[in-house]
Structure 1
Amino acid sequence: MQLPHFAALGVFSVYFLIIAALFIFITKDLQSLASVSSSSIVTRLVFVALTVASFAHTWFYMFYYMAWSFADYGKGLQLNSPDSLTHVASWLHDTSLFEQAWALVCFNPQNWWWSEQLCLFTAGTWTIFLVVEGKRYGVKHLWAYMLLGQIVAISVASNMFYLAILLSQRPDVRSSASPRTVGLRIWLSVLLSLATIAASPYTSRQIFLYNLLAMHALLFVPLFPFKSSRSLWIDIKTLYNIVYIASLAIHFKTSLVAFRSLILSHTSFQTLSLEVALSAWNVLFSNPAQSSIGWDVIWTSISFITWILLRPASSGQPLKYLSVPYLVAVTPLASVGVTAPYILQPRGDESGKPISHLKRD
């Protein structure tokens, strides 16, 4: 086996070691909070169950994708019965799993319709939510949740973060009031991330990966402790509104492109809705990579709705009996990337402390 093949095996092994380390790291943080938590044990168990279910489901398809890629690589190769490890090493060396997976879920309009939903939620709502609620509840190591979401699944990371909030001490009412203000570094990185999502369908194969990497890198910018100027701050309600409007416009255009032929061929909204749903369902199972990210979207949506239903009550929240039915009805149509920022907008006229940077852990 050649040195590059050993390196490929090493990178693949390190990837799984990082995943294991992140789970251990975050779990230890959660365990340290458990003794001070006043939340219901049933509520905590709900999010533990959602974490396990979303991880098992999305990674069933992730391993299926790896097996599919391995089998596809082996087709047509003239192999003189090499040992299995050499074959695996050759596959890892010659195949860019990350780029291949994202190409499968991005280059077709209907595939992108699924993938874009997760990108919008992550770049918009999830990033803001991590910064604001992490600061409010004193959750440590916010970068670890974002990294877990990037290399495992957003649904898994979001459920573990919901658990962190539930296990944290309830903040003082005055410190948790909303809306809050955020600095230039935070809101600009969020908007630039959304811009990369809007641009993704128009990228060529040569610049697609660079655009994708830029989006992922920008997600971490708000989570690290850099001091910023007090100029050009905006309140959190305004930022959520901007994200809501931008996400709605981006996803509406994507939906028109993805289902244009169905829209033009149907005059009945009922039959159109059924055809769109069936088409989206078929695309969900078009390849294992798409199934993994598609079910991540679904689990993220279910988990967010569950969070809104069970989250600790505080001032500025919309009433649950209004917000939960809205989410259940509208999220399948508009996506969690659109409905989440609308629901998380602080209500009322209370003000809060500015968030310009995070304390060092």
Structure 2
Amino acid sequence: MPSADELIGLPAVDDLISAIRTAAPGADLASLRAARSRIAPLALRERADLLRDALLTDLPGDYAALDRTVRHARDHAPQFTGWLIWPVTGAVATRAVQDGGTAAFDGAMALLADLTGRLTAEFAIRTLLRHDLDRALGIITGWTASADTDVRRLASEGTRPYLPWSTRVPGILARPGVTVPILDALYRDESEYVRRSVANHLNDLSRDHPGLVVDTARRWLADPGPDTGRLVRHGLRTLIKRGDPAALGLLGFTPATVEVDGPHLDRTTVPAGGSVRFTAAIRNTGSDQARLTIDYIVHHRKANGGQTGKTFKLTTRVLAPGEQITVVREHSFRPITTRRYHPGMHAISLQINGTESARADFELDGA
């Protein structure tokens, strides 16, 4: 992932100032110029918010005035593209809500759809969804038939319950299924870009409403497009890792009679930053063919001394009666930004079609 400086750094600020000067030559832009000296210590979203607020200060007036300025920059400033669009779309949505009228609201929705090809408007649209969910969803539903791939993708991505880097939309979280009609219109979309957003949206929904997600996926599989199977597998990935029986069954992973020997570890003490290698033998002891999704769980030690599991995909296999396979994996504990490792007892187990095996314990040394 590029750094904040590479995405919304001083070059982006300067391009934004230049573009707005092209569109509003009489504006002083003091707040935008002052933002240059304040941006360095800020994270990416904080930078977008800083520039959004500076734009709103430097361009006072009603929504219509801001709309004209942004459209002029779009049409006459070649540098008006890329990550600088994030604060611009944020300003558009905020000013529309401040205006309070339906004309401003609808105008902002249209402008966000127009700008989303320059940089996704998925973050800014959350402001409008929070302000008037039903009106926004009515407009967004129409976007699912757009000829523009970016607009269709915005319809799904912008309404995700747990969109990364974004604010939550309480109305979406409180009304299970309110965004499903959007997904129904897009799951067979010709664009992989759109379909991947649909799968991620479905996966978001699975955090709180697994039954709704499985029912939705079942409907799609009954009326599929060429890529629906892959989309559904991606959309159910969290439920599969959780061992959800309904999701597993929908994908053909029914309870199986297997014998597991392992996991066996190559060491009982792992140095900080090191790795542990494990092997396990899995044999189908039943009389029928067994279709297996095989994951492994690392049970990390928490700061309070307890453990929390993190599931990782291992393999998917079909075993004939009596057939045996051996699985091998090396798991690294090198430092990463998304997890803090606590020294002490950890464990590894397998999960086969949602059923966990015995655990193998090991000690993770401190730094």
| Coarse TM-score class (shorter-chain normalised) | under 0.3
Larger radius of gyration: 2
| TM-score when normalising by structure 2 | 0.22
More helix by share: 1
| TM-score when normalising by structure 1 | 0.23
Larger relative contact order (Cα-Cα within 8 Å, sequence gap ≥ 6):
1
